[in-house]
């Protein structure tokens, strides 16, 4: 049995979502500095996938078993550099942008390749740009995906 997961397809689907005022990238197009692209949403590449699980959903020989694969994809939002504007207005902007992202990903058309999806561990606060050098007001969250490859 070959187990095919749709991670690249799902990441491409996410990067093609249109979110008003937000730059969305996939792992291949993350700029080193987010300054010119804020607000920007991108995969956290140093821990993109953590805690992937595989579980048989039926009995029988391995090549005929139905499988369930669950994994998280971790994303980061850089909203505005720390020190630009007030904390209150930037924090409100982060929350509003996170709401737009959540609606775009979870409430619109299903992502190609995904079967079940939920948002986990959303947290706002200080985050760094892709190069890890500039601090931003932002958020990190996990999309927990479940696939049933045959």
Segment 32-74, tens digit of pLDDT: 889 999 999 999 988 777 787 777 777 766 666 777 888 899 9
Q: What is the pTM of this model?
A: 0.84
The dihedral sign for the CA sequence 46, 2, 13, 103: negative
Under 8 Å between Cβ of 148 and 124: no
Got the DSSP string for 5-67?
A: --HHHHHHHHHT--BTTBEE--GGG--S--GGG-SEEEE-GGGSS-S-EEEE-S-S-GGG--E
The two three-digit tokens of residue 77, written as one number: 């939002």
In order of 7, 9, 65, 131, the CA distances from 3 in angstroms are 12, 15, 11, 33
Cβ contacts of 32 within 8 Å, gap of 6 or more: 129, 130, 131
* Token code pair at residue 59: 């009995």
Distance separating alpha carbons of residues 122 and 94, to the nearest angstrom: 11
The pLDDT of residue 49 is 78
Q: What ranges do the domains of the chain cover? A: 7-42+57-67+82-147
Tell me if the bond preceding 39 is cis, omega within 30° of 0.
yes
CA atoms within 13 A on the CB side of 110: 9
Flag residues of the chain having pLDDT under 50: none
- pLDDT at position 148: 76
């Amino acid at each position: 049995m070959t187990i095919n997961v749709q991670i690249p397809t799902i990441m491409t689907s996410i990067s093609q979502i249109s979110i008003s005022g937000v730059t969305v990238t996939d792992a291949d197009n993350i700029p080193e500095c987010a300054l010119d692209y804020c607000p920007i949403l991108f995969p956290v590449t140093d821990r993109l996938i953590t805690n992937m699980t595989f579980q048989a959903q039926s009995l029988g020989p391995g090549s005929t078993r139905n499988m369930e694969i669950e994994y998280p994809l971790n994303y980061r939002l850089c909203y505005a550099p720390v020190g630009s504007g007030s904390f209150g207005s930037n924090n409100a902007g982060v929350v509003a942008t996170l709401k737009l992202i959540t609606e775009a990903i979870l409430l619109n058309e299903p992502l190609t390749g995904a079967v079940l999806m939920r948002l986990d561990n959303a947290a706002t606060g200080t985050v760094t740009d892709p190069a890890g050098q500039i601090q931003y007001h932002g958020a990190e969250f996990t999309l927990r995906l479940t696939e049933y490859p045959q």
